[in-house]
Structure 1
């Protein structure tokens, strides 16, 4: 079965066609006239097994492309520049708080809207497009948090922590586990953004406060940020779906590698040397790993591991820096 489809048109029109229930069941090859038209329009002939599956997948991909459109770059830069201005002048502190609050509400609204599960079955594209949408909605606030960490004096820490903690827990819901767990991804992004900024400023005390801040995860239980949002401790790592978004399709540090790529773009507001970012990123993850070990282990456990009695190791989350050992 062959179909010729011109995808250079408006994606919204394509989506309307697919949602309208277009069903083509023609068989056979294109006629000579049709072939001439395809050649004239520089079109492509796509061979498919069935129209229903083809248009359902097309609708998913077109919707993801439209939804994942990042904010207008000029709007993003304007908001980040506004945050810098507000941050530099104490009299604009209220405006800065309002800007952060607006972006937090924007993320919350997206999480609620994204909580509905797709009617079709699972496909890798569902996860990949959801990741792109969450990153698009979080980019502005993540860049602002990086600036707060880099140039802050401590007054901003309560605001940053409140936002991260507020986005780090969601009510139980049904659906695809990978998508449900992804609802706290914005908190992971903001945790990394603020933490990398703090490390760049060498504000180690504030960084340790961030890593060890308690999160109420429900039923009067609490976990430290580093035990709830950092790599393998985060619920979004269950069954490690992040291998799907990595070009190598399956590295052991897929999430760390992906975040490295994201923040390489998002830290340009305060990291100006291109060769500095990777070492700073890996340094942040190593400090997070050490903080996790500090909280999760006691002296007796460490001595037992070193003594080789029974299990001679301690488990800990670790990122891409592990490949340097």
Structure 2
């Protein structure tokens, strides 16, 4: 995931596949197309692989930003400029708002949020997790398809 986040990685490699030349998230789009059909036999009762993949991407983004400091998040989110944010990788859900909004609502629900915090998401801080999600929304707000 997030090939552009890793040294030597580049999302443009996946743009060489037919039909993915103009995609913002070519690897993720390719995986959704591939696994939507394949996953029916092994993912279980989840019928929507696209939702599952985007949920994974959002959680991975939230883990990635944990290397940032909360003061940096406070500084950027305190600015009125919607272009002020702390960089974090954003996958398909950056432009796929209908699924993104559903997933973020799920994450912010009391039960799931408590479970994620107990697992160490947001460095175990509800404030950090909330600000990470606000940062994610700000980045996603600049993506359009």
Q: Distance in 1 between matches of 2:56 and 2:72?
A: 25
1:159-308 equivalences under 5 Å are 230-235=2-7, 237-238=9-10, 240-273=12-45, 275-295=47-67, 297-308=68-79
TM-score normalised by L of structure 2? 0.54
Q: Is the 8 A contact 2:11 2:25 kept in 1?
A: no
- Unpaired runs of 5+ in structure 1? 1-228
Deviation at 1:309, TM superposition (A): 8.1
What is the number of residues matched between the two proteins? 96
Deviation at 1:291, TM superposition (A): 0.8
Other-structure match for 1:316: 88
Q: Distance in 2 between matches of 1:246 and 1:289?
A: 27
**Larger relative contact order (Cα-Cα within 8 Å, sequence gap ≥ 6):** 2
Other-structure match for 1:135: none
Q: Equivalent residue of 1:301, what SS?
A: helix
Larger of the two Rg values belongs to structure: 1
Deviation at 1:234, TM superposition (A): 3.0
Give the superposed CA RMSD.
2.7
Deviation at 1:274, TM superposition (A): 7.0
Other-structure match for 1:71: none
Deviation at 1:267, TM superposition (A): 2.7
TM-score normalised by L of structure 1? 0.26
The 3 A distance-change label for structure 1 pair 246 and 308 is farther
- Unpaired runs of 5+ in structure 2? 98-145
Q: Is the 8 A contact 1:243 1:250 kept in 2?
A: yes
Q: Distance in 2 between matches of 1:282 and 1:315?
A: 18
Q: Distance in 2 between matches of 1:236 and 1:304?
A: 30
Q: Distance in 2 between matches of 1:273 and 1:246?
A: 31
